[in-house]
Every structure is written in C-alpha cells, then in structure tokens.
Amino acid sequence: MEGAGASIFSHAAELATREMDSAHEEPELPSAIQDLVQRLEGQGEPITELPDLTELVFGEFFREWEAPSTVIGLRRRVLEAIGSCNTLEILDVGKICGGYILGLTPSEWEVVLRGFRSSTVLKKIIVAGTYFAGDADKESLCFQLGRILNSSSVTELQLNASLSARCLSNLASGLRGRSDSKVKSLDLWEAWEDSSGVKYVADMINSAPLLETLRLGGYWEDMEDETLGILSQALIQSLALKEFTLDEAGKWAGPLSLKALAGDDRNRSIERLCLTGMDGLGDWLRELLISNPSLKEVELDELHMEPEQAHQLGEAIRDNAISTTILLPATVSLDDFKSIEALALAASSEINDPTLEVTLVPMREDEVMLSLNLLDRVLRGEITSLKSLSILDRLGLSSNQDRGEGILSMNGRTGETCVLKRLGLRRLSEDVWKGVWKDLLLCLRGNTSLTHLDLSETWLDDETFRDMMGLLQQNLSLQEINVSETSWAIDGKAALIQESLKQNEKRAAYMSVFREAGLAFGDAKAGRLFLCGSPLAGKTQLRQTLMRIVEGKSWLGNKWKKSFRTKGIEVEYLQNNDKRQISIWDLAGQEIFRTLQTVLFPQSNNFCVFLFVYSSFCENSSSKKKDSCFRTELEEWMSFITSSSRVTGHNRPQVLVVISHKDKMKSSSLTWAHSIVKDVNQRFAKFVDLHPIQECFHVDARKKKQVIDLKDYIFEIFDKLLSEKSPRVPQLCSRLSSLLATNIKENRSCPIWLPQKFKNFCDPILTEFISSSSAFANDHSRILNSIVSYLNDVGSIVYISTLSYIIVDPNWLTNTLLGELVALGQKFHAQEHESKSHSSYSSKDGFVSESVFVGLIEEFLGKQPHGQIGVDRDVIENILIHLDLCFKVEDTSQFYFIPSFIPEHASNEEQKPQEGKDLESMAWESRGETSQFVGIRIQCQDGRTMSLTAAFFPCFQMFMRRKLISEMRVSKKTVTCSRQYLRLFLDGHEIYVEQGTSHNYMDVLMLRSKHKSRSEALQYLMKHIVQVLISFCASSKGCPGVALVLSVIQTSCVEMLIPSHLRGAILIEELKSNFIDSINDNLRIFSWIGFTWRRRKRCSAMSTLGPRLKDTQGNFRKR
C-alpha cells in the first residue's frame, strides 16, 4: 500500500478549517483515535487488525451519520490512513461501520478499500451483518471486496450477512478466473438470503483450488435438486478440501452430504466433517460412515438422534470396523444422555478399536449424576469405545449423592481394563469432586491408558495435591495434567506437577526397557540416612558409632579425630547386603557448605531418613545453650528439608531428633525438648513427618550401647519405607548398586569411569539376569543406557552425559572434591592443627580471574593422593559447570563465576551481611525522563516453613544465562551476573532479578522498553523470566518442595531501587480480592443511589400529579 505521507492530523485540520464556518471550532481528536492513527502510520506496535471504530472511545467520528463537516473531514483522513496502512492482516467491514453500510458515503468506502486491492499482507476479509442499506449499496460494497479478492493476498473469506445473488456474484467475480487464488478458507454461514445465490457459492468453491476448510449453513429452506447438484459437484471437485462444516442446515444437508461424500464418485479429500445443530442425522449419517472410509473424524456438536438410531449407528461403527473418530462436544439433555450411552455401548468392541470423544455439559443436578455414571462405566471397562470423556459443569452444580459416599462405584477395581486416554473433569464443585476423586485415584493407580487429565477450574485442595503427587510416583503413563484456573495454578503447585511429569517421562523410558527385557522386579533396598545439625553437634561421632555397630568398623581414638570437622558431605555405606543398602550422608554443619548440599540433595524422599543431631552445649565449651537455640536450629533444618524435598504424595520425609552429649547433661529429662518438637511438628505437619522424641533419641554418641536402640529404630523405619511405600525396582539394578558400593570401598583410586569401563563392570551381571533368548542378550547398549539413568536417579552414581564419564564414588564428589574446594576457597579448616598458610581468595561479585581459578584447582590437586586416575583440572572444571556451580566467561580474558566457593570479602569481619549492600552496583542504565517500571515478587507461599535454599540463586543465574545464550540467542554482553542479582537487556527492556535478603523471595524489576505497552512488557516478563524461574524452582536443581506465589511491587520502589527488604509488595490474589470487594462495595453504593433516585423521582412525580388526580378522583390521598 502507499505510505501515509505527512501526519494526518495536519491534513485533517486543514480540511476541517476550509469546511467550518467561523462560529465553529475544530474538535479535538479523542486520544484513542490519536493512538490508532499513530499505529496506522507505522509508529509504535504494528497494527494487524482494526478495533471496533463504533465504540464510545472513538467519540462521534464513526457513529454519527449526520456528523458536522469538521468530523467528516477528520474521519476521511482516518479512513485514508486505514487504506494506506501496510500492516493490516484482517479487514472486518463491521468494525468500520458497525454493519451500517450507509454510515460511510460511497466515496469514503472507496477511500478505505482501494488501498487493500494490491495488499500482500491482507489475510482475511469479514462481512458479518449489513443493515440499513439498499441493494445497490450492498452490491457496490461487494463489488469492491471482489476486486480485493481478485488482486490481494487474502486467504480467508467470512460471509455471514444473508447476501443477495447479485452481491454473491460480485464477490465470486473476484475469484473467478484467477488461477493463482490463495483462498484456503471460506466461512459461508448465513451467506445467502435465498437459494438463487447458492450457484455463486458453488462458483466461489470452484474458483478456490487451494480451499482447505469450508463452512455452509444458516439456511433452513429447501433446495431444488438442480441446486443441490451444482453445490455437491463443486464439493466433489474441490480436491484440496480437508474440513467441511454444515452448521444449522435444513433438510438439504442430508442429500447434499450423501451426494458429495458417499458413493464411488464422492469427494475423497475431506477428512473431517462437522455437523452442528442438525436434525434427522439418524436418517443418513449411518449410511455416510459406512460408504466413506476417507473420513477420519466426524464432529456432532449436538446429537439430535433417538437412542435406537444411536444404537444402530454404534453397531455400524463396530461391525464395519469404521476407524472414523466421532466427536460429541455437546450441551446435552436427558434424551441426549441416553443416545450417547447407547452409541458408546453399541460401538464398544474387543476386536475393533473405534474412537469416540465425548464432552458432556450437564445443566441440572440429575444430569451431573448421569455424566458421572457414564464415567463410572468407562472406568470399569464396560464401555471401550470412549477414548476421551470430558465433563464440564458450567453451573458448578452439586450432586444429590451423600458426601460421605463415593459417587463412582469402582468396588475396589483399579482401572486396568479402562481404555480411556483423555479425561476432563472441569469446574466440578467441591462436593462432586470429593465424591469422585478417591475412586478415580484408585483407578488411575492401576491404569496405563490415560495420558491426559484436565482438571481446569475445578475445586482442588492440598490433600488432593498430595494424592496427585503420590499417584505420579506410581503412574508413569500420564503425560499432561491441566490445572489452569485452579488454586494450584496460583500457589505454584502446577509447576511442581509439570516437573514431576517431566521426570516421569524419563523414568517411563528406562522402565519400559527393563520390562521389555523381562527383568524381575522386587522391593527397593537402597536408602539414605542423612545426619544434619549445627557444627560439632556429634554427627560424625554418631556416624562412626553406627558403623562400628553394623559393620564392625573401628576408628583409632586419635586426639585429632575429636576435633575433625566434616567438609561438604561424607558418604559411607552403613549396610550393604541382600536385605538393605543403606548409605549415611553426613552433612557438614557450617553454612558455607549449604550450597553444595542443596545441589546434591536427593529428589525423592521415599528412601530417606533424616537425623537432626543437636548438642545442648556451645561449640568447644561446656556452656549450655538456651532452649530457644534448639527451636531455631530445628526450624532451620526442617525448612531446609521441606524446601529441598520433592513432594511425593503422603510419604513425607521422616525426621528424628537426636539429642547428643548425654554424658554432659545434669538431668536426663527432655521435657523442654518435647514441647518444642510438638510445636514444630504442628507447623511442618503437611511437609515433614517429625517423630516424637523417645528415650533412645538421647545418647552419648560415643557409646555403642546407647546407640543400638536408635539404630534398630532407624532400620525399622527403612524396612517399612522400602517394603510398603517405595515403588518396586529391577533386581538387576539393586545388585549393581551393591557391587558398585563394594568396589569403590575396596578401590578409591578411580572415582571416575569411562562408559567402556562401566560396561565391562556390568556385562557379567547382565548375562546373569537377562535370558539368552532375549533380544537384549547380545546387545547390551539399550539396557546399559537405562541402567545408567536409573542409578543416576537414585543417587548410586552421577552421570554427566555431555562429558561421557560416570562418577561412581559419591563420597569423592561430595566430600573429597566439592567439600575440599569450598574449604579451600572459604579458608575453612577441618582440624585445629591444620596449616593456615594457603592462599586467601575473595571476590565481591563472585568472579575470579583464570589464574585465581587455576590456583584453587591446583591447590586442591596438590592435596590429593598420588595415583588417583582420571582426575585433572579439565575434569573438575566440567563437573562444576555441569552442576551449575560455575560458568566461564570467555572475552578478552577468561573469568570464572564461582560465588559458592569463595567469600565476598577478604576478612571475616567484613563478611557480615549488610542490607542493600549491592545497591551501589545496581542502577538503571537506560533510564530516561519518561521511563516506566514494573516489578514482580516471586515468594514462598509459606515463608515460615520453606525458603529458597542457598544454592537456588547462583544455580538459577547459571541456568538462565545458559538458556538465554544457547536457546534465545541472546548476546553474552547483555547478561550480567553478580552475587545478589542478575541483570539482563532483553527485547528493549532492562531487567534485574534480585535475591531477597531473607531467602524467601526473588524480585524481578523491569525498566520497560518505550516501544512496548505495559501489558506487552508484563506478558514478556511473565513468559521469559517469571515462569522460567518458577519452573526452575520446581526442577531437581531448584527447590522442589517450595510452592511460589506472585506479588506486585510498588512502582516507585522499582524506580528508585529501594533495598529489597523495604519494598512494598502485595500478593496478586490479595489485589484481585480487594479489587472484587471494591467493585462489590461500589455496586452496593450504586444500587442504593439508584434506589434513592428512583424513589425520589417517583415521589416527585406523585407530588405533581397528586392535586390533579384528587380533583377527578376524590378518594385519592396524596403521598
């Protein structure tokens, strides 16, 4: 199209001045029109579709027929801008004139339409309703639209205007004779006013060789055979047509369908047929399905069919092995229920596999029960033709079933015979959902066919969420669960479900290989015992005593051992035999190790028991701590466990509290601890199973006799977990896990294996477990890949796929490597006598030069025993990068970002946290006088029980940086990392992602692009930052036990970069609630004002009429 040229405002003003008389002033353009004109002229966001110009926001410019001359002049220039715009993809005539063709003069129509004739951008023309216009005006408009069709790039034409034959002829003329027509879609519902126009409809079909979708209908009158013949012939010859819709068609629909779609000379390209609002389907649909094998899908929007006819249709589908998918999306009546059930039952077959997809929309309580009864029969396997069933309760109806009873009658059946693939239970009320869920849950545990579950807009609670996460531990068939517009979508649970589904996809892949190989499954044997607590609480001493009891180990009582402090995590096998494979993970108590502990935390709590070990005495002294210290330390570790443990149903992490140093206690009474444990347990009861303190939990960790009862109690918990609550596992994997532990214990010189060495290790065991007749007997490659994935998931090994080697010694990774690196970087001394002469490292922003990084690695390697195979600087660097503990910046010189390994300051005195200390390095670089700001806070749903762990933010930075650079092709220069914030320049926006000082929230601050609206900026922020952060939090590298909610930050706090702990923020849900309450309050006020006004008006009227009525009716009394 031609350019708009100079600003239309000046042109319009000049034209208006010529036409106004001196008594009138030029009207001011409404802001909505000014914004529209700017976009039409190419300023700001490109416009692809016109708004409705008859709306009030556009003033009188397009609503007044008898408008002043000034308005007409300005309007003409707006129309010229529309005609000259080169970005419009949709031309909707109704949005220009509101359907009133006479609203614009013929010359104005010429102005607005002529520019579209040569458009290469225009995709769609819509003519829906034309009012207050004579035949000539309509014909003129259609002639101009026909010219556009003849010469533009239009691919879609929608006519819903009951046009005359002449109008349709004018439109058809635009397509006729054009061999390169690009039209792929014709929507001709209510397109013709009488049957004389049908031949021109056929003409349009014939003139669109690329036509793929066609919709006819909205016409109930009869058609002559000749007319039907013309139309059916056009359909038969439409060789590209894939989808054909008959919507509210009269009796002619059946004959037309049979002529065009049945018989030897039928159309063979149509694959999808949609029949909406049709009567008499039972008379011809059965014949059509039998005679047309080309149809892949038939949608019946409303099943107007008697149950007997539906039964016959079902039999035809079954007996003729019709593969056509029948879709029934319907708002149904009682008779429709009977017909749908009759159809589904009759079509069910054990031999053939027909597919029916049904959506039920009950409008009464009894219809809710009928819908659920149908679901019941499907779940029990009585109906096998239904592959998709959706129940949409738009009215939120209750059931008449007793809430104490289940609505479904599964009778203990677990759904193995159910073949349903998709199930939707949408908008169900609380009582209906509670009546359905328990039986449905039981069914889904044993079902392997259902892949999609839609619970959108349904009442869902925390109990159901735990049920769902427990189900996902057992059911690997579910691929998609939709919980949009539910409480779970708001409080972060939806992200946790999506992450669980993602993990299940991986599990399903390797478990299917195990089953295909015919491996035997048995109870799980592997478990982990975690020892956690403050430094020098006695964790390591308790571990050593447990090892002496179970394994018969003994440690020399050297004096230096008493002062030894754990680095990172020390891992040992407490028991490794045919009964159990229990490893102890001894977590260092110092805060500096918390990041790597989080990174290496197990993602399943099915196999884990936690011992919180507490000493009532201060470090290196006999001074007793205050009782409040016990509460503080216990709550901190409970929060750590809660936040780091993935929700896996009702099997919460098991936590025992062990009070050490019994020998120093003057009294053996633990009354003070019992009350604190009880209070803490009440707070964390939804997340953690905190056992009450028992006598055996109070020990002198050095004494075997005092620890034996504790050991027995721990093993009892493991026996219950492994036999009753854990999923069954391949016995082959249990055997390999045990052998690996034995091998590493005997030979620690080679903690890293290449794939070939791992294969050589596994081959003898595979030969033992795999039948010689199996396809896996000769080629172990597939099953080896599955074994590696499984052992990596359960923590027996650490597999780094991108580096092609396997870490087979967990203790080397957690303690020897990572623990030692943190100790070196943070100047941590594990023993009192240890030399303090090694190098001092520090970095304010977390970056160090290559020489510093190499120095740290070389210092580590220098402390390792000689003869360790396969470990060098490159291997260590790659491991750190893989675990998101490091990334390398390659610019003019190399830098490494390792905030978890080095302190911020050189001296301990300077390391005390300071609120807002990073603000001096945070500043809006692209700020201007008119800059606009947006802020979103992503915070823990419950800050008292969960938090974002120490590893979360540095790992998220590295993940986000890698994602932006590798997937979104963002320049490395636009991504800046620091200890407390991540700065990004994306899509014209400047964005900070900042870690909150309390570790309970993250703030996302945006200075939005001047070329984007607020809504566009928010959408971008939500999609590319906020949702990515929420998904990362739910992942195995985030905090999978944390549910996140969103708040809006006060704009001025974002603009001035107020310290995060001082920023004002309000939960979005609270904001919505306040907004709704405000609306309701205003409605009540308006209602009262309206009532008062109407009463006063009525009283005023009566006062006026009163005397006159009294004169004529003496019995009237004035009010």
Q: pLDDT tens across 639-651, in order?
A: 999 998 888 777 7
Sheet holding 526-532: strands in order across? 569-576, 581-587, 526-532, 608-614, 654-659, 689-690
Q: Which amino acid would we find at residue 741?
A: A
Instruction: Average the pLDDT over each of 176-180, 272-276, 784-788, 822-826 and give the range with the smallest value.
Output: 176-180
Residue 894: is its pLDDT beyond 80? no
817: DSSP letter: I
What is the SS3 assignment for 576? strand
Alpha carbon distance 189, 161 (integer Å):
8
Residue 934: is its pLDDT beyond 90? yes
What is the SS3 assignment for 127? strand
- Could you tell me the pLDDT band of residue 455, with boundaries at 50, 70 and 90? very high
Segment 22-45 mean pLDDT: 71
Residue 692: is its pLDDT beyond 60? yes
Asked whether the domain spanning 930-1063 has the same topology as the one spanning 523-727, the reply is: no
Q: Which amino acid would we find at residue 525?
A: K
pLDDT digits (tens, 9 = 90+) for 1020-1063: 999 999 999 999 999 888 899 898 999 999 999 999 999 999 99
CB 862 within 8 A of CB 817: no
Give the long-range contacts of residues 1027-1032, CB within 8 A, separation 24 or more.
1028/960, 1028/963, 1029/938, 1029/956, 1029/960, 1029/993, 1029/1002, 1029/1004, 1030/492, 1030/495, 1030/938, 1031/495, 1031/498, 1031/499, 1032/956, 1032/959, 1032/960
- Mean residue pLDDT across the chain: 83
Segment 997-1019 mean pLDDT: 90
Residue 474 or 543, more confident: 543
pLDDT digits (tens, 9 = 90+) for 772-783: 888 888 888 899
pLDDT score at 841? 74
CB 218 within 8 A of CB 185: no
pLDDT score at 10? 36
pLDDT digits (tens, 9 = 90+) for 1086-1104: 555 544 544 444 444 444 4
Instruction: Average the pLDDT over each of 331-345, 864-878, 895-909 and give the range with the smallest value.
Output: 895-909
pLDDT score at 431? 86
Segment 679-685 mean pLDDT: 94
Tokens 């070990």 -> residue: 613
User: For the domain bounded by 930-1063, which CATH number is listed?
Assistant: 3.30.310.200
pLDDT digits (tens, 9 = 90+) for 723-774: 776 778 899 998 998 888 888 777 777 889 989 999 999 999 999 999 888 8
Q: List strand residue ranges (DSSP E) for 996-1112, in order.
A: 1001-1008, 1044-1049, 1065-1067
Q: Please report how the helices 198-206 and 165-175 are oriented relative to each other, as an axis angle in degrees rounded to 10.
A: 10
Residue 432: is its pLDDT beyond 50? yes
Residue 43 or 832, more confident: 43
Residue 194: exposure state from Cβ atoms within 10 A (0-12, 13-18, ≥19):
exposed
Question: In this structure, what are the phi and psi dihedrals at residue 514, rounded to the nearest 5 degrees?
Answer: -60, -40
pLDDT score at 945? 93
User: For the domain bounded by 523-727, which CATH number is listed?
Assistant: 3.40.50.300
pLDDT score at 948? 93
Residue 4: is its pLDDT beyond 60? no
Output the pTM of the full model.
Answer: 0.79
- Could you tell me the pLDDT band of residue 454, with boundaries at 50, 70 and 90? very high
Q: Where are the domains of the chain?
A: 1-86, 523-727, 748-831+840-906, 930-1063, 1070-1119
pLDDT score at 969? 87
